[in-house]
Amino acid sequence: MSIQFPKSEYPRVVIISCGFGGLQLAKSLNGAPFQVVMLDKNNYHTFQPLLYQVATSGLEADSIAYPIRKIFKGQKNFHFRWCEVKSLVASDNKIITNIGEVAYDYLVMATGTTTNFFGNSEFEQKAMPMKSVTEALNLRSLILQNFEKALLANTDEERQALMNFVVVGGGPTGVELAGALSELKNHVLPNDYPELDLKQMRVILVESGNELLQAFNQTNQQRAKTYLEELGAEVRLQKGVSKFDGRTIEFKDGEKLLSKNLIWGAGIKGVLIDGFDETVINPRKRLLVNDYCQINNQTNIFAIGDVACMVQPNYPNGHPQVAPVAIQMGELVAQNLIRQKEGKSLQSFNYNDKGSMATVGRNRAVVEAGKIHFGGWLGWLVWMSLHLMLLVGFRNRIVVFINWLWNYLSYDRNIRLIIRPFTPKEEN
């Protein structure tokens, strides 16, 4: 069964997923002679850089998510369908979804990434990922539930397991999450749980490499580590996790730690659909593309953003999996689709790296752009300003700003709600 769309004289561009790349591509095709069809398993766009604040009760989920239909309200020749894409049939120029088939003239994979557990089923079953709104809400519930359970614990050992938080991965996600958890420990949870000795709560950031934020300047790497330690977090470098049974974490050096809170931010992999030849998929599940974002030099199938791997001299392993890359690739593909329709030559992708940043709690952040790098309060202000600008929707910007202002003035986080209790998989 084919999904029906209004008849159009224009070629159809099917975009799978409304992440940063898909969103920018669809916007850039506004007014162009194409019928744009967007497919997504969610009916909203997620601002992923702020998921950690949802998980740590700083923001509500609807302040970082925005309805796809509202984003494109009034855009002509745009159609959205809520569905899950299953597979590609490139020979017939169609894709298979859970609601039917969709034919395309051009197909753009903008599916992003998911958590990579590197084949360890134990971690996949029992560790907490944080790559979606649902996962962030699960983590928020788990954090609060475990403190409620700590009040009822019969032994110090059980209480300590509930109050130890181990974050795996020293990239921006791990650093920001460890900082937010430390601020909860310092300013919020002592007021909620006066019967507990919050000094016993431990926030431990584990990184298998030599430094945090490995893509950053060495000065900023050290700044981030210092900021976390100032907040009371423990930073363990050159340390890997080997086992987790839901209650005890075992490290590769043999050390064991009681904890029911293992948060996994150590790796990502591309989200793919069936139908792609193995020769165009790299070990991290990214689709190999040429300089025009075309897969395997095909003229009508593209990949952009985190799921795309474009090997260039300055990026032998592909570009960093960050929002600016996805946005710029989306813009390029839109321009090239128009140029291709007009019979013009295609433009190659040239990433304009405007810099990187990560926040480590109140008044602490690291920022760098080229040879310029700084941190502290100024870095934190720059980080906040940029994230507010990039949020989709005026309402979301206002809500996030008000929440941040209140949190800053009161040292509080009001969204400590267990809306939907989370049940660990071993308890199901």
Helices marked H in 283-415 — which ranges?
323-341, 376-390, 394-410
Judgement on whether residues 304 and 397 belong to the same structural domain of the protein = no
Q: Residue 6 domain-assigned?
A: no
Judgement on whether residues 366 and 420 belong to the same structural domain of the protein = yes
What CATH code is carried by the domain that includes residue 371?
Answer: 3.50.50.100
Active site residues: 176
Q: How many residues does the chain have?
A: 428
Q: Residue 355 domain-assigned?
A: no
Helices marked H in 189-283 — which ranges?
189-192, 218-231
Q: Residue 65 domain-assigned?
A: no
Provide the pLDDT confidence category of residue 426 given band limits of 50, 70 and 90.
Answer: low
Mean pLDDT of 217-238: 97
Residues 304-327: tens digit of each pLDDT: 999 999 999 999 999 999 999 999
Q: Residue 50 domain-assigned?
A: no
Judgement on whether residues 109 and 126 belong to the same structural domain of the protein = no
Provide the pLDDT confidence category of residue 1 given band limits of 50, 70 and 90.
Answer: confident
For residues 58 and 186, give the distance between their C-alpha atoms in angstroms, rounded to a whole number: 14
Give the total number of structural domains in the chain.
2
Q: Residue 349 domain-assigned?
A: no
Residues 38-94: tens digit of each pLDDT: 999 999 999 999 999 999 999 999 999 999 999 999 999 999 999 999 999 999 999
Residue 428 has pLDDT above 80, yes or no: no
The full DSSP string for 6-61 is ---SSPEEEEE--SHHHHHHHHHTTTSSSEEEEEESSSEEE-GGGHHHHHTTSS-G
Q: Residue 105 domain-assigned?
A: yes
For residue 273, which of 246, 292, 294, 301 has the smallest C-alpha distance? 301
Range of the structural domain that residue 140 is part of: 121-266+362-427
Mean pLDDT of 256-285: 95
Judgement on whether residues 283 and 406 belong to the same structural domain of the protein = no
Last residue of a domain, one of 341, 373, 396: 341
| Whole-Å CA distances, 133 to 96, 215, 424 | 25, 26, 17
Judgement on whether residues 147 and 252 belong to the same structural domain of the protein = yes
Last residue of a domain, one of 341, 374, 401: 341
Residues 6+ apart with CB under 8 A from 117: 123, 124, 127, 264, 267
Judgement on whether residues 275 and 419 belong to the same structural domain of the protein = no
Mean pLDDT of 345-371: 94
CB neighbourhood size of 128 (10 A) = 22
For residue 136, which of 76, 84, 64, 242 has the smallest C-alpha distance? 64
Residue type for 188, please?
V
Q: Residue 59 domain-assigned?
A: no
Provide the pLDDT confidence category of residue 298 given band limits of 50, 70 and 90.
Answer: confident
Judgement on whether residues 104 and 28 belong to the same structural domain of the protein = yes
Residues 6+ apart with CB under 8 A from 156: none
C-alpha 189: how far from chain center: 26
Residue 345 has pLDDT above 90, yes or no: yes
What CATH code is carried by the domain that includes residue 291?
Answer: 3.50.50.60
For residues 110 and 321, give the distance between their C-alpha atoms in angstroms, rounded to a whole number: 12
Judgement on whether residues 30 and 99 belong to the same structural domain of the protein = yes
Judgement on whether residues 371 and 238 belong to the same structural domain of the protein = yes
For residues 76 and 85, give the distance between their C-alpha atoms in angstroms, rounded to a whole number: 24
For position 28, what pLDDT does the model report?
98
Judgement on whether residues 151 and 229 belong to the same structural domain of the protein = yes
Judgement on whether residues 147 and 183 belong to the same structural domain of the protein = yes
For position 319, what pLDDT does the model report?
96
For position 271, what pLDDT does the model report?
97
Last residue of a domain, one of 278, 310, 341: 341
For position 424, what pLDDT does the model report?
78
Judgement on whether residues 273 and 242 belong to the same structural domain of the protein = no
Q: Residue 192 domain-assigned?
A: yes
For residue 269, which of 147, 152, 111 has the smallest C-alpha distance? 111
Mean pLDDT of 330-337: 98
For residues 49 and 65, give the distance between their C-alpha atoms in angstroms, rounded to a whole number: 11
What are 53's two structure tokens? 């604040």
Report whether 259 contacts 210 (CB < 8 A): no
